[in-house]
Structure 1
Amino acid sequence: MAAALVLVDAEGLDAVSTRRLANELGVSGPSLYNHVATKEELIDSVVDAVLGEVDTSMFARLGGDDRDWRAALAAWAESYRATLAAHPNIVPVVAQGPGRRPHALRIADGVFGGLVAAGWPRREATRVGALMRYFVTGSALGSFAGGFPDDATVYEANYSHLGQAHLLAARQQEINESAFAVGLGALLDGLELRYRAVTSGGDAPAQVP
């Protein structure tokens, strides 16, 4: 799994094959089938090994007097993003859903269970978990700032509002991290309002479907 992950990180998912991995390990190709049956199983195992690094322990503490779901979501989102950002080439597979991967299912179970224990209705907890996963996986998929050419002449003639865009690439880590922090804070602020609406004891306001 470690050797396969090195390939994925360096060259992407398409670089992984049982033949290529056997060459990297200095073994015969058929010997790998003692461990994995197919390339798909190999990729699933690599992805799940990475997801094993995501911390969900904060959700186990929710319930009873501890209903600080906001702090739990924030800590989990930061752990999740840091893990995916270290291995961005696996994000397309992660975005497809947990499948049968044990660690991926552990994450889903922990988030959902923690939110319900903190007072979120089950339907709402499902929505919140999905929303957070969209946000985190999207933020880890690529770099907004790094996508801008560092050549100022690209913007001069036709893009008058992008006069400083050539400076973005050099600051991509700072910009990506601050954008994630702003987005996470905004999401949590919105979820705070929704939580109050759906747990108010009466019918939820009309704007909360």
Structure 2
Amino acid sequence: MGRPRTPLLDRARITTTALQLVAEKGEFSVPQIARRLGAQTASVYHHVDGRDGIVELMRERICEAIDTATLTLEPWDAALAAWARSYRAAFAAHPRVIPLLMTSPVRAPKVLEQYERAVGLLLAVGFAAEDVMPALTGLENLVLGSALDLAAPATMWELPDENSTPHLARALAAVGAGRADAAFEVALEGLIAHCRSVLTATGDQPSR
């Protein structure tokens, strides 16, 4: 019998299968991936560095959808906001993977390179080194939380009747179907405004 034209296992297939399992079940295991691909568990380990390695492959796959060209826009705050929107869109497509990624250190070189570019952007415009990671971590928390919000049920507040919570009913009716997007833009605007104030304060400091 000749060899199959397409290899049974490779890192791309393992990554795709892991993403499918997480989308379906909220979790994955190496034996589950092997079964779905019709392979032995030991064979999967020949291609990846265990479960943690698969998590990083999923992170890398998702981050490939983030438009890094946004980080070259000017001015810097427009670049940061555009990157955040692209980042959110990429992760909104895989919301059930987010809890796995947020509890695992970032190791994938391609992902670290993207952080490097974002850090370089902020340092280049004058942010103090100690202010950079709080800003980026805050941005990431906002992005990932909003990506999860996009995956939430369309109706998050189920009112028994409008009379018992009239103010809430009025506010929900006014915001309509765009609640998640509107909330993200409000929070993003607030974070960017904070970053501007931090940068201004840094510029006001006497030189050493």
TM-based fold match above 0.5: yes
Are 2:13 and 1:7 equivalent residues in the alignment? Answer: no
Aligned residues: 192
Deviation at 1:142, TM superposition (A): 2.9
Seen in structure 2, the aligned counterparts of structure 1 residues 192 and 176 have a Cα distance that, compared at 3 Å, is same
1:162 aligned partner: 168
Q: Secondary structure at the match of 2:204?
A: coil
Corresponding position of 2:181:
177
Q: Deviations over 1:16-66 (max 9, x none)?
A: 12222122222233221221242232222222221232223343x47xxx6
Are 2:56 and 1:48 equivalent residues in the alignment?
Answer: no
Distance of aligned partners of 1:155 and 1:8 in 2 relative to their CA distance in 1, 3 Å threshold: farther
What is the rounded CA distance, in whole Å, between the counterparts of 1:40 and 1:122 in structure 2? Answer: 30
Stretches of 4+ moved more than 4 A in 1?
154-157, 164-168
Show the counterpart of 1:18: 30
In 2, Cα distance between equivalents of 1:129 and 1:89: 22
- Is contact 1:58–1:72 with CA below 8 Å preserved after alignment? yes
Matched, 1:113 2:120: yes
Aligned residues of 1:98 and 1:105 also touching (Cα < 8 A): no
Distance 1:78 1:135 in 2: 10
- Matched with 1:57 is 69
CA contact (8 A) 1:5 1:46 kept: yes
**Deviations for 1:157-179, whole angstroms, at most 9, x for unmatched residues?**
4x4433357869x82xx211111
Q: 2:100 maps to what in 1?
A: 93
Among 139, 153, 156, the alignment partner of 1:148 is: 156
TM-score (norm 1): 0.77
CA distance in 2, matches of 1:91, 1:201: 38
Separation (CA, whole Å) in 1 of partners of 2:48 and 2:170: 50
CA contact (8 A) 1:18 1:32 kept: yes
- Cα gap change, 1:100/1:88 in structure 2, threshold over 3 Å: closer, same or farther? same
Letter in 2 for 1:148: M
What is aligned with 2:203? 199
Q: Give the counterpart letter for 1:3 in structure 2.
A: T
Query: Secondary structure in 1 aligned to 2:65?
Result: coil
Partner-residue secondary structure (3-state), 1:53: coil
